[in-house]
Amino acid sequence: CFPAVELDPHYIRALLRRAELYEKTEKLDEALEDYKAVLEKDPSVHQAREACMVSSSLSKEKKPHVHHLQICKLKDLGNLVLRPFGLSTENFQVKQDSSTGSYSINFVQNPNNNR
């Protein structure tokens, strides 16, 4: 929580410091939002302009990795729920129909035998 930003949303120095903190804690989307807010208030802030370019490119590079981690965590959660029933996420095949974009889910009794 940044009380200075809450008290005065136009306080550029506080926005810059919060953006730097977000960068250090790898919250790149939040950092980028703060840098953009700084540029809206004062386009001459070189630090914000430079950081926007760097943050934007880093954010794009990390998105596939973050998506993969999210899928792995969801599978772990699914396996935790399914384990008492003798099942896992491997028992379900998900296929996307390329023409409609919809998904179908099929149950597979022995997933290791079908590979």
CATH number, domain of 23, equals: 1.25.40.10
In a domain, 115, yes or no: no
- How far is Cα 51 from Cα 67, in angstroms, rounded to an integer? 23
State the pLDDT at residue 7: 80
In a domain, 114, yes or no: no
In a domain, 28, yes or no: yes
The parent domain of residue 41 ranges over 1-107
Structure confidence by residue, pLDDT tens digits, 4-14 = 777 887 789 99
| pTM tops 0.85, yes or no | no
State the pLDDT at residue 111: 74
State the pLDDT at residue 84: 92
pLDDT at residue 30 tops 80: yes
Amino acid at 88: S
Distances (CA, A) of 8 to 50, 62, 86: 24, 32, 56
How many domains would you assign to the chain?
A: 1
pLDDT at residue 114 tops 60: no
